[in-house]
Amino acid sequence: MKTAIVIGAGIAGLAAAARLQSKGYQVQVFEHRPYAGGKLTQITVGNYRFDAGPSIFTMPHYVDEVFTECGKNPKDYFEYTMVDDICNYFWEDGTRLTSYADIEKFSNEVEKNLGVDAAAVRKMVEKNKFKFETVGNIFLRRSLHRLQSFTNWETVRAVLRIPRLQLFQSMNKVNSRLKHPKLVQLFNRFATYNGSNPFEASSILNLVGHLELGLGIAMPKGGMHDISQSVYKLAQDLGVKFHFGNKVDEILLNKNVANGVVVAGQTYKADLVVCNMDVHYAYEKLMPNAVKPKKVLEQPRSSSGLVFYWGIKRSFPELILHNALMSSDPKKEFECIFKDKTITDDPTIYINITSKSVEGDAPEGCENWFTMINVPHIEGDQNWDELIAKGRKSIIEKINRILNIDIEQYIEAEEIFEPRILQERTFSYQGSLYGISSNTRTGAFFRHSNFSRRVKQLYFCGGSVHPGGGIPVCLSSAKIVADIIPDAK
């Protein structure tokens, strides 16, 4: 039987392992942490449970697909419901707005609260849908580094539509046609879903808005942690062998062919290796003597996140599963993150409260607040202790102003997650959440490939390589890898 080794048990590594096992390989997964899931894990603080990582779940059918393509029924492993009320938005001047998966309802809500013609909103949503339907399948389902990905009618059609895709205009420039600054800010926010700056990133990233507003978002029955655990269970049932608490020290290369790994001085051989680690770390630490793709590795990194997990001994009916308290100066906010490598005094605050949907995540009458702001990756002489203290102070003050409350008196449990912890736990280079940013007009299309051009039998999946970060996108990288690798014979 042919064998495969997967490095890292993040969601992409889990999906790749399951897919390869179902293709006839005997797969082993090595993970340096004592659990499966990578960033997609959970923590408990006092009497509160929190999803520790990703909190917005789009394209749940990509999870279902892992099970069906491995010959299993998704419902035997995983349950979720679609969310009708997507996000509550709050501004300092008292403006409030709810986004909905129903486009008619959302556009009417915008017209009612912001005075923007509903038809203009629907037109923008339709344009984002057009972008997704034109390039989404090409970008998410295929390697952009193989000639055969471009020799088909779907790709030719996309090329012919390039003038309508607005590739060489920034998200902000295109979204500014909506005129109202608050609505522009709302649509620009989708750049942060892959750690980018809407004032620099290509407007092709507006298709991310379609994933949320057009296709809707879901919530797993037991929280986001259910996603990784369900795929982990699938992999186990298929026969994948897991080694937790085992850090890979080296990828073995024999005449430019990957044929195993070294773990704690012990050699494990395999016919191929799939790396779910940050690609920068893989080259620097696991293959120090290999030729490095310098141009790719030197691309600018994405933003990171500062999260306060708060157990709140009170309930807030004005808040739902997803909430955003918007900055009054979004341009300054992004300049602070990407140019000055610091935190603005007035950040946009995202508050995820899974206890609104998941029973038992908080005691009766209480809520579990995943409270996050976007922050820079690690670079230069930043004083992170000072930045964290500054961020917490700004968050507290903004919440108090907008909700007219003294929130600190209700915080009875707290845990902090910040870029240094992210880097230490997941080997994410410079503590960036999504690997490289897409802060160029073509950045989203030029991530590291899902295979090595110089080393045979070496493949890559996860958020630091094509097609990028986020749960459905990472699952796509696993599918691309599995589709490239031939069935075991």
pLDDT digits (tens, 9 = 90+) for 375-403: 999 999 999 999 999 999 999 999 999 99
Which residue matches tokens 């968050």? 395
User: What does the mean pLDDT of the chain come to?
Assistant: 92
Rounded Cα distance between 156 and 279, Å, is 30
Burial class (CB in 10 A: 0-12, 13-18, 19+), 26: middle
Structure tokens at 114: 């912001």
Which residue matches tokens 């990905």? 149
Structure tokens at 442: 């073509």
Q: What's the fold here for domain 3-40+223-298+439-484?
A: FAD/NAD(P)-binding domain (3.50.50)
Nearest CA to 323 among 79, 5, 96, 16?
A: 96
Count of other CB atoms within 10 angstroms of residue 66: 28
Rounded Cα distance between 62 and 475, Å, is 7
DSSP 98-142: EEESSHHHHHHHHHHHH---HHHHHHHHHHHHHHIIIIIHHHHHS
Main-chain dihedrals φ then ψ at residue 287, nearest 5 degrees: -135, 60
- According to the model, what pLDDT value does residue 438 have? 81
DSSP 3-state of 149: helix
CA dihedral 419, 369, 95, 192 (to 10 degrees): 30
DSSP, res 436: B
DSSP alpha helices (H): ranges in 321-370? 330-338
Structure tokens at 200: 């620099």
pLDDT digits (tens, 9 = 90+) for 262-296: 999 999 999 999 999 999 999 999 999 888 888 87
DSSP 3-state of 351: strand
How far from chain centre, in Å, is Cα 121? 26
Rounded Cα distance between 461 and 100, Å, is 32
pLDDT digits (tens, 9 = 90+) for 315-338: 999 999 999 999 999 999 999 999
Phi-psi category of residue 347: left, alpha or beta, with phi > 0 → left and psi -120 to 50 → alpha: beta
Query: Helices 225-238 and 11-22: crossing angle, nearest 10°?
Result: 30
Task: Check pLDDT > 90 for residue 346.
Answer: yes
- According to the model, what pLDDT value does residue 298 have? 83
- According to the model, what pLDDT value does residue 165 have? 64
pLDDT digits (tens, 9 = 90+) for 415-438: 999 999 999 999 999 999 998 888
pLDDT digits (tens, 9 = 90+) for 88-108: 999 999 999 999 999 999 999
DSSP 171-203: HHHHHGGG--HHHHHHHHGGGGGGT--TTTSBG
Residues 6+ apart with CB under 8 A from 437: 194, 195, 196, 197, 201, 299, 300, 301, 302, 303, 338, 443
Count of other CB atoms within 10 angstroms of residue 348: 21
Task: Look at strands 96-100 and 217-220 and give their pairing.
Answer: unpaired
Rounded Cα distance between 444 and 120, Å, is 27
**Segment 5-33 mean pLDDT:** 98
User: How distant, in Å, are the alpha carbons of 113, 212, 213, 445 from that of 117?
Assistant: 11, 21, 17, 34
CA dihedral 308, 309, 314, 315 (to 10 degrees): 100
Q: Cis link prior to 467 (omega < 30° from 0)?
A: yes
Rounded Cα distance between 165 and 11, Å, is 30
Residues 6+ apart with CB under 8 A from 483: none
Rounded Cα distance between 396 and 398, Å, is 6
Rounded Cα distance between 218 and 204, Å, is 23
Task: Check pLDDT > 80 for residue 485.
Answer: yes
DSSP 48-89: EEEE-S---EE-THHHHHHHHHTT--GGGT--EEEESEEEEE
Task: Check pLDDT > 80 for residue 305.
Answer: yes
- According to the model, what pLDDT value does residue 153 have? 47
Taking the model in full, what pTM does it have?
0.94
pLDDT digits (tens, 9 = 90+) for 214-271: 999 999 999 999 999 999 999 999 999 999 999 999 999 999 999 999 999 999 999 9
pLDDT digits (tens, 9 = 90+) for 176-197: 999 999 999 999 999 999 899 9
Which residue matches tokens 């073509």? 442
Q: Do 451 and 486 touch, CB atoms closer than 8 A?
A: no
Q: Do 103 and 213 touch, CB atoms closer than 8 A?
A: yes
- According to the model, what pLDDT value does residue 136 have? 65
pLDDT digits (tens, 9 = 90+) for 126-170: 998 988 888 766 666 655 555 454 455 455 555 545 556 666 689
Domain segments of the chain as ranges: 3-40+223-298+439-484
Strand (E) or helix (H) holding 30:
strand 26-31
